[in-house]
Amino acid sequence: MKAYQIEIKLNGEWRKAEVTVRETLLDVLRDKLGAKEVKNGCGKGDCGTCAVILDGKAVNSCLTLALQANGKEITTLKGIGTEEKPHPLQKSFVEHGAIQCGFCTPGMIVSAKTLLDQNPKPSREEIREAISGNLCRCTGYKKIVDAIQETALEDKS
Amino acid sequence: MKNHTINLTVNGEEHEILVEPNALLVNVLRDELGLTGTKYGCGTGQCAACTVLVNGESVLSCLTLAVAVDGADIVSIEGVARPDGTLDPVQEAFLDHSAIQCGFCTPAMVMMGRDLLNKNRDPSEPEIREHIKGNLCRCTGYTSIVRAIKSCAQKREPQTE
Amino acid sequence: MGDVEYLAPRDLKEALKAMEEWKGRAKVIAGGTNLIPYMRAGWISPELIVDFSGFKDLAYIKEGNGAISIGALTTISEVASSETIRNYSPILSSAASHLGNPLCRNRATIGGNLANASPGADMAPPLLALEASVHTERGGEKGREISLHEFFLGPNQTVLEEDEVITEITFPKPKDPATGSQIKFGLRNAEALSIVNIAVMLEMEGKVCRKARVALCPLAPTPIRAYRLEELLEGKRIDEGLLDECAGILKEEITPRRVSIRASAEYRKMLSSILFKRAVQEALKGVKA
């Protein structure tokens, strides 16, 4: 299998990887760049657990070839906030009990972050729309919507 | 089988009911008295969805023969809210903390929360978890339920002068 | 799963040349939202993937003399949020905002949705109702303009040659963009493969319909226009009786799959007639997206 060299700016840092044509961005993020916070849920763009920010837009990394991400900026959950320096969204998720098993959470935060970047004061309906590509089997979604809404309300900027 | 007439005070109302000797309290509450807030979950005392208070003590109504509680004072979930419809603080807390997903475990959880707070005005989180450890919930992961009950801690009943 | 090569061409010319050289063995990747799942499932095995996703100059929405032009690589998100589209063709905004989910829409392209030619292609009904055309280019040969109603041949089959690529979609500005309606009925609010997706555009003179365009899917091997209904409506006063007559005929015009997937053929027929009436009633209100 022919291998190609790519470079992506992952959470602000340029990283190199050797990839094949069939590898998706998800494959490369998890297996070659150690970004395990990006989850492999369904592999076909239905669950949203693989969501990352590419060129400022939330996308399914399982539906992007690694080669298509060459030279691009990618932000994952860890580029949004970390344990040491959590993003208000992450703090809000914890406070609202919006994390049960946690599998959907990274993708949810990615979708929520891009929503708030575009629409700082979304309605509940707009929040639900923004996360309509992120499936959660545990929480019944209410706590997640509450968490996102509270973050939006608290943001003074 | 010879049927028995029993007297139960349920949520303050007196009832005289004819029951079979092997009738379970959970079924009498649900089917005879129409009080379907108490749930029949497992029928073997493992899920505690059938929890009611009998003479002030929490009891698994699926493991209680109706004849065995003849004369008792029973409180089910329908008796937790005030007569004027105002919700008990525990019920309000469950709503505020999104502690209700499918809702099936909720009546019993609320009963146990109320039961605990009646005995211990300011329970710690471990005490809350200990008290509801018999109540299964498949939806919430328990965190929101514990938080809901904890938020009612130290709440004093309004003083009536 | 054999070996596959990848090309990120510098420009359209290079891309088309590669498509020509590898004719039949190469596939275009744009958003990748269909191509990647198909490849993973083993349904297609191209020898070369030609990446069109970098061609930003094929992503545009322009308002020209009497027509709207949309570059094939415009994402569905961009179509859904475009003020131009909302002003001139709210039924297209509506359909775009119901395709897949937000993550998918940020990558999926309008050209890709048409070229993939799913029997349930979300963008097809409104574009058919708007009498859209697709514009193509090829490496060695000339491109062409194809009316959308002549574009689809069957499930995932179009008139496109193996080295022919959609570059633009155009449609004439509707006389009255507001007398249109688009309804997607699915089993869930997002990520739904439609049970029925219907689009209606009307030109009214008082209560009389001067022009009607009705398009639906997935009720046949391809998205379709309901020509008999259009004929019945044109030149007539639209009233309950006429709509009932049309709804009855619609059931005969469509040929949903007999194998029940997501819904039985009977259900789809019943639903189509109800949604047709609802769509016309909505269109008559001059509802904007």
Q: What are B97-107's pLDDT values in tens digits?
A: 999 999 999 99
pLDDT exceeding 70 applies to what percent of chain C?
A: 99
Q: What distance in Å separates residue A43's CA from the closest CA in chain C?
A: 8
Within this chain, do residues C139 and C222 fall inside the same structural domain, yes or no? Answer: no
Q: Is the pLDDT of residue A14 over 70?
A: yes
Single residue among B18, B44, B79 that ends a domain in this structure: B79
Whether A100 has its CB under 8 Å from any CB of chain B: the answer is yes
* Mean local confidence (pLDDT), B126-137: 97
Cβ–Cβ below 8 Å for A96 and B98? yes
Predicted pLDDT at B157 = 61
Q: Is the pLDDT of residue A86 over 50?
A: yes
Nearest-angstrom CA–CA distance, C69 and C127: 12
Q: Is the pLDDT of residue C288 over 90?
A: no
CATH label of the domain that carries residue B112? 1.10.150.120
Among the partner-chain residues A46, A58, A68, the one whose CB lies closest to the CB of C102 is A58
Q: In whole angstroms, what separates CA A106 from the centre of its chain?
A: 5
Express each pLDDT in A69-84 by its tens digit.
Answer: 999 999 999 999 999 9
Q: What distance in Å separates residue A106's CA from the closest CA in chain B?
A: 18
Single residue among B28, B47, B79 that ends a domain in this structure: B79
Interface test with B, best of A96, A124, A141, A148 (most B CBs within 10 A): A96
Angstrom CA distances, C179 to C84, C201, C204, C231, C266, stand at: 17, 6, 8, 18, 29
Angstrom CA distances, A44 to A62, A74, C11, C95, stand at: 6, 19, 29, 21
Express each pLDDT in B22-62 by its tens digit.
Answer: 999 999 999 999 999 999 999 999 999 999 999 999 999 99
Within this chain, do residues B10 and B69 fall inside the same structural domain, yes or no? Answer: yes
Determine the structural domain holding residue C260 and report its residue range: 178-284
* C150 in any annotated domain: yes
Which positions 37-56 of A are in contact with B (Cβ < 8 Å)? none
* B58 in any annotated domain: yes
Determine the structural domain holding residue B95 and report its residue range: 89-151
* B156 in any annotated domain: no
Outline where DSSP puts E strands in C38-140: 48-51, 61-63, 67-71, 133-137
Q: Is the pLDDT of residue B159 over 90?
A: no
Predicted pLDDT at C2 = 72
DSSP C221: S
Q: Please, which chains are in contact with B (at least 3 CB pairs closer than 8 A)? A: A
Better-predicted residue by pLDDT, C257 or C195: C195
Express each pLDDT in C221-272 by its tens digit.
Answer: 999 999 999 999 999 999 999 999 999 999 999 999 888 889 999 999 999 9
* B160 in any annotated domain: no
Predicted pLDDT at C260 = 82
Cβ–Cβ below 8 Å for A60 and C107? yes
* B29 in any annotated domain: yes
Express each pLDDT in B140-156 by its tens digit.
Answer: 999 999 999 999 998 55
* C289 in any annotated domain: no
Number of H helices, E strands in chain B: 5, 5
Express each pLDDT in C58-116 by its tens digit.
Answer: 999 999 989 999 999 999 999 999 999 999 999 999 999 999 999 999 999 999 999 99
Among the partner-chain residues A4, A43, A133, the one whose CB lies closest to the CB of C101 is A133
Q: Is the pLDDT of residue A153 over 80?
A: yes
Express each pLDDT in A105-122 by its tens digit.
Answer: 999 999 999 999 999 999
DSSP B28: I
Residues whose CB is less than 8 angstroms from the CB of residue B112 and which lie 6 or more positions away in sequence, other chains included: B48, B51, B58, B131, B132, B134, B135
- What's the pLDDT band for B158 if we cut at 50, 70, 90? low
Closest CA to C237 of C178, C280, C282, C287: C280
Cβ–Cβ below 8 Å for C103 and A22? no
Q: Is the pLDDT of residue B161 over 50?
A: no
Express each pLDDT in C204-225 by its tens digit.
Answer: 998 899 999 999 999 999 999 9
Residues whose CB is less than 8 angstroms from the CB of residue B75 and which lie 6 or more positions away in sequence, other chains included: B10, B11, B52, B53, B111
Q: Which tokens sit at C56?
A: 């930003």
Predicted pLDDT at A156 = 59
* Interface residues of chain A, partner chain C, Cβ below 8 Å: 1-2, 4, 21-22, 24, 43-46, 48, 51, 57-60, 62-65, 67-68, 70, 111, 129-130, 132-134
Cβ–Cβ below 8 Å for A96 and B141? no
Predicted pLDDT at C289 = 38
Nearest CA in chain C to A52: C103
Among the partner-chain residues A21, A24, A59, the one whose CB lies closest to the CB of C5 is A21
* B158 in any annotated domain: no
